Amino acid sequence: MAVREDDELIIHVAGDAPAAQMMRRYWVPVALDEELTEAGGAPVRVRLFGENLVAVRDSTGTLGLMQEACPHRLASLALGRNEEGGLRCIYHGWKFAVDGSCLDMPTEPAESTFRERMRVRAYPVREGGGLVWAYLGPAEHAPPFPAFDWTTKPRSALATMKFLENANYLQAAEGSIDSAHTRFLHRGSSSIRGAGEEQRRNALSRDLAPRLEVADTTYGFRYAAIRRPNEDADVRRYVKITRYVFPTTAILSEPLSSARPALVQIFVPVDDEHTMHYSIFHALHGEALDEATIRREHALVPGVDVDARWHLRRTTENWWLQDRPAMQNGSWAGIPGVMTQDVAVQESMGPIVDRSAERLGTSDVAIIRLRRRLVESVRGFLAGEAPPGLRTPVDYGRIGAVPQLVIGVDEPWQDVATFPGEYAPAAAASRMT
Ligand code: FES
Ligand SMILES: [Fe+2]
């Protein structure tokens, strides 16, 4: 019974649900930068935590995010005219600035003060890392912007991707901390980190049953997938470390080839049954990336694989266009693109998987930890505690991709690429003993 209650607590991320309220305390991506490039351009509809919103770049170039429904009679402001200094509803002409104030109310008498008292909900917005971000929590609790290393890189060193997944955010997030699946689901696919990576990995280790170990950090946790290397397996181990940053960001390990970019994935709750997936590749040394080619490699080209509303062409209805003949001829999953493969299996569980029916194994340790930390965090939040990463300042600039290494069996993986203050006090204390 308790498990069921815990599941309910962390899967509901819309409206007043406790997890929604907790996650609103963090900055979250709302759009790719390319959706909102033009001052005075078309508004963009956005749905976050079950709330319908409209993002806009006003005529002065300032970005805003406001409620979609016009407060007059609730027509969509996404239909609005983006005019001088604000968005004007096309129904009766009420006009709103990106700070939420009402600039014009032409249907009311000139002497009316109704306009001065009228506001729309509006949220602070920022740009960084090829994304537009917003903070949707109470203004008095707004944390500093999470300035990850990749959010300060030149745009040319980034390649971004986005699509809607028809599943709860937790199914999507759990896929990013599930090391054991890569060598099955993604077998033979050009790896998420590019061609040749799979061969390099197999040359290092052919172990299919990684042992997972987790350590709590101030921002969430990090875990190591530990495999027996092909050589010196009695004295060495191959560790691949992922950082999970609350509420829903996965910092995947560095690729084995430093010529390839690192990858960050963010799973933004749209509502209980939908998640906006953002993948951001960033060049480790700031060199230029070919974004169009990287999108093609992942079968995530806007207008081809993904429609104007970021829905994938491959869906449950067409069974993700799985190609059975290709599976007879060397393709493992019969679906191209590692992220589409992830989506297929995650959507195939149903929009909200029944976790009471799962049979978790030893390779699911990180998933179990994520659920536990989420439950603890939401319960703590309800009791008035700040969630992970918001208690004390976190240096997001140091939460980067960790190199994959072969280390001695006696060397603690927790020490690989760590920084002072990374570990949560309890985890740090247990490391001392
Ligand atoms: S509904 Fe927007 S002005 Fe009337
Ligand atoms: Fe995957």
In three-state form (DSSP H/G/I as H, E/B as E, the rest C), the secondary structure along 189-209 is CCECCECCHHHHHHHHCCCCC
Does residue 353's CB lie within 6 angstroms of at least one atom of ligand 1?
no
Residue with tokens 């290393």: 149
Q: Report CA(106)–ligand 1 centroid distance (Å).
A: 10
CA atoms within 13 A on the CB side of 232: 9
Distance, in Å, from the CA atom of 266 to the CA atom of 250, rounded to the nearest integer, reads 6
Closest CA relative to residue 276, chosen from 64, 80, 44: 44
Does residue 70's CB lie within 6 angstroms of at least one atom of ligand 1?
yes
**Contact of 160 with 291, CB cutoff 8 Å:** yes
- The tens digit of pLDDT for each residue in 376-421 reads 999 999 999 999 999 988 999 999 999 999 999 999 999 999 999 9
Does residue 145's CB lie within 6 angstroms of at least one atom of ligand 1?
no
Distance, in Å, from the CA atom of 323 to the CA atom of 262, rounded to the nearest integer, reads 29
Helical (H) or strand (E) element with 169: helix 169-176
- The tens digit of pLDDT for each residue in 71-89 reads 999 999 999 999 999 999 9
Predicted pLDDT at 244: 98
Predicted pLDDT at 261: 94
Which amino acid, one-letter code, is at 111? E
* Atom of ligand 1 lying closest to residue 92 CA: 3
Residue among 66, 67, 91 whose CB has most ligand 1 atoms within 8 A, to mutate:
91
**Contact of 405 with 416, CB cutoff 8 Å:** yes
Return the biggest CA–CA distance within the chain. 85
Predicted pLDDT at 199: 87
Distance, in Å, from the CA atom of 240 to the CA atom of 217, rounded to the nearest integer, reads 17
The residue whose C-alpha atom lies closest to atom 1 belonging to ligand 1 is 73
Q: What is the dihedral of CA 385, 390, 394, 396, to 10 degrees?
A: 140
Which amino acid, one-letter code, is at 402? V
Predicted pLDDT at 193: 62
> pTM of this prediction?
0.96
Distance, in Å, from the CA atom of 383 to the CA atom of 377, rounded to the nearest integer, reads 10
Residue 163: strand pairing partners: 277
Residue among 67, 72, 90, 115 whose CB has most ligand 1 atoms within 8 A, to mutate:
72
- The tens digit of pLDDT for each residue in 222-235 reads 999 999 999 999 99
Residue 356: phi and psi, rounded to 5, are -70, -15
Residue with tokens 């049954």: 273
Residues of the chain with pLDDT under 50: 432-433
